[in-house]
Amino acid sequence: MKRFATAIGIAALVVLGAQAAFSQTLKTVQDRGELVCGANGSLAGFGMPDPNGNWVGFDVDFCRAIAAAIFNDPTKVKFVPLTPGNRFTALQSGEIDVLARNTTWTMSRDTTLGIDFAAVTYYDGQGFMVHKSLKVNSALELNDASVCVQQGTTTELNLADYFRSNNMSLKTVTFATADEAVKAYDSGRCDSYTTDSSGLYGERLRLSDPDANIVLPEIISKEPLSPAVRQGDDTWEDLVRWTHEATVDAEELGVNQRNVDDMLKSSAPDIRRLLGVEEQFGQSIGLTNDWAYRIIKAVGNYGESFERNVGQGSPLKIARGLNALWTKGGLQFGLPIR
Amino acid sequence: MLEVTQPARLGRRQWGSVALQATLVAVVGAFAYGAFVNAAANLAKANIASGFRFWNNTAGFDISQTLISYSPSTSTFGQAFWVGLLNTLLVASLGIALATALGFTIGIARLSRNWLVARLAGGYVELIRNIPLLLQILFWYNAVLKALPDLRSSIPLPWGTFLNNRGLFLPRPQIGGGFGYVFAAFMIGAIATVALRTWTRRRQDSTGAPPHVLPHALVLVVALPLLVFFLAGSPLKFSFPEMGRFNILGGVEILPEFAALLLALTIYTAAFIAEVVRAGVLAVPHGQTEAAQALGLRSGGILRLVVIPQAMRVIVPPLTSQYLNLIKNSSLAVAIGYPDLVQVFAGSVLNITGQAVEVIAVTMAVYLCISLVTSLLMNLYGRSVGIVER
């Protein structure tokens, strides 16, 4: 009798497990009809409104990918601009569903804030920008320099660490927003401005004379930028994570925005699993089986999104570098969808 | 007929009132306790760290102005808190002193019989009162920054001082061994001056001789310490600021953020204090001024000896409010990067530790304490200047 009951129980688990997984956050998003995404609001290339008021950027495209996967419509996203001060509180309180705001994945943030990081979408590092007139070629020459920095970021901490470990002394000038920090640097209040290297290229475009400033070669820290979600909703976290993995897998397999419709007819097993022609991975994250097809159709694969927002197709012209595919010497390694 | 005094025991109405107040206190206390427990439970459920363990963790970030010793690699978040608090107290106390001086001047100027002076003062008040303080702070910060030259073309001032858009660099005094005697001489001089003033006032009450305190005070407070200073071998050296590769090293640095914030707070609050002073002066009955004129006093003496002392009774309560406003407005330092308590503690520390509830609660409690102490001191002062017979 006991073995029969156990067998019935296991069978029930198998049946239930095969059905669509439930996520409270996903249900809230679907009921609301749009995704609420925490964004930067003023970082060129990552998340800011263009002159017509439409949000564009690398992190913005990631949120649009999630919206496309859920609603088959990448425009069903509301962006909430956040500062480093309130970005985690907004996520913890439920004001936003996902935080895609060039946020570094660190242990303290992962363990003490009640949030989880989904996947590293951009491998970055902190750098320095200086006025060309100072004739500085390396960050090691910046002893006693004044550095403008935005408060509440890993940037602030890395800056102090770097100067201490190289026995240099430092004068920081901290500001609440990156805008003020850049403006103060531009006016000559500081000798140098420091932030993630991707941000340096973006901010340089906004200076009064971009060519009078150079970005120093040193990268002084690891800044793995990752979208974040609240703890407690594992299915939602899986959804966000596999949205990123799908875009990287697509680039590895050669699937892009233009050829994704043709790729539906492909016979390669990897592509068929990715686009949902075979198997039913969409259900296990609460979506339809063509979830990855929707993502690629809406925003393209990882490489397309990168080049369009921060790469050669954008004013920033950042090289793929660490963000190239692992087959090309970079760190982006798509987890297998199977 | 003598009045009947209140009975010592409480009657039924008093007991009812006491019971009602006790119930109200219990309800409010239960509500506060419930809110606290609810917040703690929610934080634990969401796996957000809580408690004050972060106080002794290494801060890791640098602060641009520190009145006590602070190093990013060894100082804790608690020490960062004290640095921010001292910066707030510095700008608040200087702001209160300067705003009071400026406000009194403008307020009395507005009552002047000189048409131009009165109109200028009135224009100042109307203009400054109606522009939001944040805009004024940003204006002064940008005006100060843009007007001053770059580091490399600093303005050299007397005594080795430099002025540029990174700040005002003054020679740093280095106190030698014998300075304790000079300080002791100064304190002795100050106490002697106060004693002298009390004695001359008493003498004036009994014999009518006018008190000539000032020359004696100068001797006691200035000449005596100076004499001791030279006798002790001039124990005061200065280290002068020098131009380094990127910055001026050595010397005392006054940040442009500090100067801009102080300037904006002073000018803004002075406009409000001017109106408070004007109201106080107008509240003194005109008969006092006429009587003073009849006694032969001139306008300076009338103001100083008759009108202002009586006006203080009306001025002190709204003046307290303006002081509290200034203290709270100093938190707008966040906008320009002056490292006050809000910027350092509720900004950097909060962002790094992520513990919003504890940090904001502590910041609010600190501002509450500062404000309560200020209003307590002002109330004590107000009681001392109150007119006894009213």
pLDDT for B124: 96
For B46, which of A92, A161, A164 is closest by C-beta distance? A92
Three-state SS for B345?
helix
pLDDT for A54: 93
pLDDT for B388: 58
Q: Taking the CA of residue A243 as centre, how many other CA atoms within 13 Å lie in the half-sphere pointing to its CB?
A: 32
Comparing A160-164, A224-228, B87-91, B235-239, the range with the smallest average pLDDT is B235-239
Stretch A256-273: mean pLDDT: 92
Q: Does B91 touch chain A (CB under 8 A)?
A: no
Rounded to whole angstroms, how far apart are CA atoms B48 and A94?
14
> Which residues of chain A lie closer than 8 angstroms to B165, CB-CB?
187-189
Q: What angle do CA A51, A54, A55 make, to 5 degrees?
A: 105
Q: Cα distance from B53 to chain A (closest Cα, Å)?
A: 12
Taking an 8 Å cut-off on Cβ atoms, the answer to whether A113 and B249 are in contact is: no
Position A163 pLDDT exceeds 50: yes
Number of A–B residue contacts, CB under 8 Å:
120
For B246, which of A89, A146, A151 is closest by C-beta distance? A146
Rounded to whole angstroms, how far apart are CA atoms A35 and A50?
20
Rounded to whole angstroms, how far apart are CA atoms A228 and A246?
17
Position A213 pLDDT exceeds 60: yes
Rounded to whole angstroms, how far apart are CA atoms B385 and A58?
66
Comparing alpha-carbon positions, the chain B residue that sits nearest to A143 is B246
Instruction: Give me B66's structure tokens.
Output: 């520190």
For B72, which of A89, A152, A160 is closest by C-beta distance? A160
pLDDT for A234: 93
Q: Does A112 touch chain B (CB under 8 A)?
A: yes
Taking an 8 Å cut-off on Cβ atoms, the answer to whether B145 and A187 are in contact is: yes
Show the 3-state SS of chain A: CHHHHHHHHHHHHHHHHCCCCCCHHHHHHHHHCCEEEEECCCECCCEEECCCCCEECHHHHHHHHHHHHHHCCCCCEEEEECCCCCHHHHHHHCCCCEECCCCECCHHHHHHECEEECCCCEEECEEEEEEHHHCCCCHHHCCCEEEEEECCCHHHHHHHHHHHHCCCCEEEEEECCHHHHHHHHHCCCCCEEEEEHHHHHHHHCCCCCHHHEEECCCCCCCEEECCEEECCCHHHHHHHHHHHHHHHHHHHHCCCCCCHHHHCCCCCHHHHHHHCCCCCCCHHHCCCCCHHHHHHHHHCCHHHHHHHHCCCCCCCCCCCHHHCEHHHCCCECCCCCC
pLDDT for B117: 96
CA A21 centroid distance within chain: 25
pLDDT for A19: 53
Residue B239 · residue B174 · CB < 8 Å: yes
Q: Does A266 touch chain B (CB under 8 A)?
A: no
Ordered per-residue pLDDT tens for chain B, 390 residues: 555 666 556 677 788 889 999 999 999 999 999 998 998 888 888 777 778 888 988 888 888 888 888 888 888 999 999 999 999 999 999 999 999 999 999 999 999 889 999 999 999 999 999 999 999 999 998 887 777 887 777 888 887 788 888 888 888 877 777 777 888 888 888 888 888 888 888 888 888 777 777 787 787 778 888 888 888 777 777 788 888 778 887 778 888 889 899 999 999 999 999 999 999 999 999 999 999 999 998 888 888 888 998 899 899 999 999 999 999 999 998 888 899 999 899 888 888 888 888 899 999 999 999 999 999 999 999 888 876 555
Q: Does B249 touch chain A (CB under 8 A)?
A: yes
Q: Looking at domain A126-221, does it have CATH number 3.40.190.10?
A: yes
pLDDT for A12: 52
Q: Say which residues have a Cβ less than 8 Å from residue A86's Cβ, sequence separation at least 6.
A: none
ipTM: 0.71
pLDDT for B158: 80
For B339, which of A174, A180, A184 is closest by C-beta distance? A174
Q: Which residues of B249-271 are buried (b: 16+ CB within 10 A; e: fewer)?
A: bbbebebbbbbbbbbbbbbbbbb
Q: Looking at domain B80-167+255-385, does it have CATH number 1.10.730.10?
A: no
What is A20-123+225-322's CATH topology? D-Maltodextrin-Binding Protein; domain 2 (3.40.190)
Q: Label residue A77 by pLDDT band (50, 70, 90).
A: very high
pLDDT for A239: 94
Q: Cα distance from A219 to chain B (closest Cα, Å)?
A: 19
Q: Cα distance from B42 to chain A (closest Cα, Å)?
A: 10
Q: Where in chain B is the domain with CATH 1.10.3720.10?
A: 80-167+255-385
Question: Most B CBs within 10 Å: which of A151, A164, A231, as the mutation test of the B interface?
Answer: A151
pLDDT for A17: 45
Q: Does B335 touch chain A (CB under 8 A)?
A: yes
For B46, which of A114, A134, A161 is closest by C-beta distance? A114
Q: Where in chain A is the domain with CATH 3.40.190.10?
A: 20-123+225-322, 126-221
Rounded to whole angstroms, how far apart are CA atoms B159 and B172?
11
For A145, which of B246, B335, B336 is closest by C-beta distance? B246
pLDDT for A18: 47
Q: Does A19 touch chain B (CB under 8 A)?
A: no
Residue A203 · residue A40 · CB < 8 Å: no
Instruction: Give me A227's structure tokens.
Output: 């979208």
Comparing alpha-carbon positions, the chain B residue that sits nearest to A130 is B246
